[in-house]
Amino acid sequence: MTRKQIHLAAHFPGVNNTTVWADPRSGSQIDFASFAHLARTAERGKFDFFFLAEGLRLRELKGRIHDLDVVGRPEALTVLSALAAVTERLGLAGTVNATFNEPYELARRLSTLDHLSDGRAAWNVVTTSDAFTGENFRRGGYLDRADRYTRAAEFVRLSRELWDSWQPGAHLADKSRAQFVRPAAIGTVRHEGPHFTVEGQFTLPRGPQGHPVIIQAGDSDEGREFAAATADVIFSRHGTLEDGRAFYADVKGRLARYHREPDQLKIMPAATYALGDTEEEAAENAAAIRRQQVGPQTATAFIEQVWGRDMSAYDPDGPLPDVEPDPSEGVSQGRVPFGDRAAVAAKWRALAEEKKLTIRELVIEVTGRQTFVGTPAGVARQIDEHVQADAADGFILVPHLTPGGLDEFVDRVVPLLQERGAFRTDYTGTTLREHLELS
Amino acid sequence: MTLHLAVALDGAGWHPAAWREASAQPEAIFSARYWAALVAEAERGLLDFVTIEDSLSLQSTLLDGPDARADQVRGRFDAVLLTARLAPLTSRIGLVPTATTTHTEPFHVAIGIATLDHVSGGRAGWRPQISARSTEAAHFGRRPFPRLDGSFSIDDEHVRALFEEATDAVEVVRRLWDSWEDDAEIRDLPTGRFIDRDKLHYIDFAGRFFSVRGPSITPRSPQGQPVVTALAHARLPYEFAAGGADVVYVTPHSADQARAIVEEVRELSAELRVFADLVVFLGDDAAERKARLDGLDGAELRSDAAIFTGTPEELAELLLQWRRAGIEGFRLRPGALPYDLEAITRGLTAELRGRGAFRRSYEATTLRGLLGLPRPASRYAEVS
């Protein structure tokens, strides 16, 4: 029996504190050369796809733009289209918001990317419910949280109708018979739903993949159900073995309800890593990266998000002060909320007291270590074990450095995954659907 | 006296039967290589820029709605993504996609064109376009538009409102492009700050149609302000162009008309670069080729722009005549691709160079540079 194959994706380092900019090797977050370097590295490593996140409003803390992390990024699909020119096989996945886009236009852009990349386009479907981001858009305001997945589901369903609306062979280009298209093969889509009313003909023939690959990243029960019904890939947060196995079993178990096979939905948790020639060196590197990711000002900003008040008077290298969180509204905008802040604060305080941690050490502790730490052989073994144990179908790797953060992984870990017979030594197909073994 | 040259790329060329020419490749229109070859040819000719046509509906001979014709090119890519795909394959030529102001969010246009400017190293432009069609509005279902019919006029209240909205959209896009000052990114290790947030600005635009808070999510691009261009045939769009564009494409049919239009535009703006659009069929047999294509299409070609048939030498003379009338550049619409494009890049440019009227090498790395437009500071930057 052949070994279960690992799928790998490369996440361009994002605009949160996991991306280290205070390092001499840190390059531009916006120059095309950075995107091209990371994408070419991923393609050299035979990765399934390259992944871009999105955020349509700059994050704020205490009513001002958050200035401690990398800020600024391009429009995702525009960069991916440019990357299609400098890569040949790598899948190109963009996060695009279903709240602040319209189906006809976005479906058309995704179809364009699919044509221009010869079948390598993917869409990570996200929704935003906050009025904060809405202030940048005509649509404005607010999408009720309860409506997020109904909108996303209707959006994807309608997009697929549009992608299917030109039958195969509608574009004839037959000079002798004077038939550029076969008009009867271009359908009219008529859609009337709670979120969208759309009528008309699409402007593009069916793309090389038919439907671009759909990725989903939400973790709630509704999110999982949406993924089971609709998505081709889940970008999950469950990187540990036990967590991963539980999530994997749960989501794969939902597929039968939608008459789908378990291998029709690939589960790819986000994963970070730190490598070293020995286990000790890897651990040291991991700790050094964590300290870079959580500088003193970042530590203060982190506890401010939970405490909901100005904490700048307290030394981040000193103990957690004896003040209670402000229960009124939060100070952070544009990021995933912390939930019950009072409970989080109590938990953090107990942890700090037990382990005698400074503010900065506490934040380093609670914001999670790297998913994989070890020698290249050790990391290759861990990744393979996760996949063989059905904790994942692969991983979306998140380097901490732009643009060279993936180099060492591709040079040192990928060959070992290939030696284990768990990862392709070359692409066998041309489209992303083929890489992901999706029908 | 030198002039600027651009070409407008669309389908198989601007004649509806051009795709049936022997040299046409209609089977490749939905591939990247087709467009890559065209833009590479334009760059070999040292042209200032290419434009890419677009709309959010299928092409049609009808004013409003699809016509179900089989014998003409139907279907188009999203123009912004197409130009981004071409950017890494070229190094000097400007890339100017069309994007609608009627349905596309100004915020998305702003970050899309700014990103095109980043990936092309400063060669991005934008042609904002309004869409009055009811059938196109039905693709969005956000607001009903009246169906356009024979009585359609640019002075209709509906159209005037769309231009007003377009004016607001261009203003929002331009503010967003300025919302990051050039030196906003500081990477200051002692304070741990990646950016100086005093150099990022809310744009706080509030208008009749939408409001946008800002700032952009995309840092200021190489050109600061990518080049905004507008096609205009009448007073209202002239005013729109004068208000927000860097380049206006006008459609005179004679040197006298060209002179009159330039005068009218100059009353509105001293800075606007005035280009004339021309549909061109080139070669010794240009008139016969056009007539044959008209025959294939079953109708004589009609166009908003003047239609030229003749040799590159004759076209060079015409362009210089119009140049003397005040037209600074030309956006040529090749009748058939790649035939008439190659006649422009090889024949016409040689004729113009022989008259000292066109560049022998690219003199700048950005589109603004090629057009002689300075790189503006952000409007939000404080003069120190």
Summarize pLDDT for B87-140 with one digit per residue, the tens: 999 999 999 999 999 999 999 999 999 999 999 999 999 999 999 999 999 999
**Chain B residues 29-48 with a CB less than 8 Å from chain A:** 29-32
**Rounded mean pLDDT, B168-175:** 98
- Using a CB-CB distance cutoff of 8 angstroms, which residues of chain B are in contact with residue A67? 193-197
Mean pLDDT, chain A, as a whole number?
94
Q: Copy the structure tokens of residue B200.
A: 């990022």
Judged against a pLDDT cut of 80, whether residue A439 lies above it is answered with: no
Provide the pLDDT for residue B384: 54
**Rounded mean pLDDT, A283-306:** 94
The answer to whether A84 and A40 are in contact (CB under 8 A) is no
- Using a CB-CB distance cutoff of 8 angstroms, which residues of chain A are in contact with residue B81? 77-78, 81, 109, 112-113, 116
In the DSSP assignment, the letter for residue B346 is I
**Rounded mean pLDDT, B244-266:** 98
**Chain B residues 254-313 with a CB less than 8 Å from chain A:** 296
- Using a CB-CB distance cutoff of 8 angstroms, which residues of chain A are in contact with residue B118? 30-32, 74, 79
Give dist(CA A97, CA A91) in Å, integer.
Answer: 19
Taking the CA of residue B25 and the nearest CA in chain A, the distance in Å comes to: 8
Give residue A309's pLDDT band: very low, low, confident or very high (50, 70, 90): confident
Per cent of chain A over pLDDT 70 is 99
Of all residues in chain A, the one with the smallest CA distance to B108 is: A75
Provide the pLDDT for residue B383: 66
Per cent of chain B over pLDDT 90 is 96
Give residue B218's pLDDT band: very low, low, confident or very high (50, 70, 90): very high
Q: Copy the structure tokens of residue B77.
A: 């890519």
In the DSSP assignment, the letter for residue A178 is T
Which residue has 């990725």 as its token pair? A215
Judged against a pLDDT cut of 90, whether residue B153 lies above it is answered with: no
3-state SS assignment for residue B139: coil
CB spacing of A199 vs B30 below 8 angstroms: no
In the DSSP assignment, the letter for residue A171 is E
Q: What is the largest CA-CA distance in chain B?
A: 74
Provide the pLDDT for residue A324: 87
Q: Copy the structure tokens of residue A34.
A: 């950075």
Helix ranges (DSSP H) in chain B: 32-44, 79-86, 106-119, 134-137, 157-178, 235-244, 255-268, 286-297, 312-324, 339-342, 349-354, 367-370
3-state SS assignment for residue A393: coil
Structure confidence by residue, pLDDT tens digits, A321-376: 888 888 877 777 777 677 788 888 999 999 999 999 999 999 999 988 899 999 99
User: At what angle are helices A221-230 and A148-163 packed, to 10 degrees?
Assistant: 10
> Could you say which of A74, A109, A179 has the minimum Cβ distance to residue B71?
A179
Judged against a pLDDT cut of 90, whether residue A125 lies above it is answered with: yes
CB spacing of A73 vs B218 below 8 angstroms: yes
Mean pLDDT, chain B, as a whole number?
97
Judged against a pLDDT cut of 90, whether residue B79 lies above it is answered with: yes
Mutate to test the interface with A, among B72, B74, B204 (most CBs of A within 10 A): B74
Provide the pLDDT for residue A142: 66
User: At what angle are helices B255-268 and B235-244 packed, to 10 degrees?
Assistant: 50
Establish if B116 touches chain A: CB-CB under 8 angstroms. Answer: yes
Judged against a pLDDT cut of 60, whether residue A1 lies above it is answered with: no
Provide the pLDDT for residue A138: 86
Amino acid at B195: I
Using a 10 angstrom Cβ sphere, with 0-12 exposed, 13-18 middle and 19 or more buried, the burial of residue A133 is: buried
CB spacing of B19 vs A180 below 8 angstroms: yes
Judged against a pLDDT cut of 90, whether residue B265 lies above it is answered with: yes
> Could you say which of A68, A116, A201 has the minimum Cβ distance to residue B81?
A116
Provide the pLDDT for residue A61: 85
Give dist(CA A253, CA A224) in Å, integer.
Answer: 11
**Rounded mean pLDDT, A141-162:** 90
In the DSSP assignment, the letter for residue A132 is H
Taking the CA of residue B319 and the nearest CA in chain A, the distance in Å comes to: 34
Give dist(CA B3, CA B351) in Å, integer.
Answer: 12
Judged against a pLDDT cut of 90, whether residue A21 lies above it is answered with: yes
Of all residues in chain B, the one with the smallest CA distance to A141 is: B211
Of all residues in chain B, the one with the smallest CA distance to A57 is: B217
> Could you say which of B73, B74, B191 has the minimum Cβ distance to residue A297?
B191
Per cent of chain A over pLDDT 90 is 85
Mutate to test the interface with A, among B176, B194, B212, B292 (most CBs of A within 10 A): B194
CB spacing of B139 vs A204 below 8 angstroms: no
Give dist(CA A303, CA A359) in Å, integer.
Answer: 8
CB spacing of A30 vs B219 below 8 angstroms: yes
Give residue B152's pLDDT band: very low, low, confident or very high (50, 70, 90): confident
Give dist(CA B94, CA B72) in Å, integer.
Answer: 28
Q: Count contacts between A and B (CB, < 8 Å).
A: 218
- Using a CB-CB distance cutoff of 8 angstroms, which residues of chain A are in contact with residue B119? 32, 74, 78-79, 82
Q: Copy the structure tokens of residue B360.
A: 């022998």
Provide the pLDDT for residue A331: 74
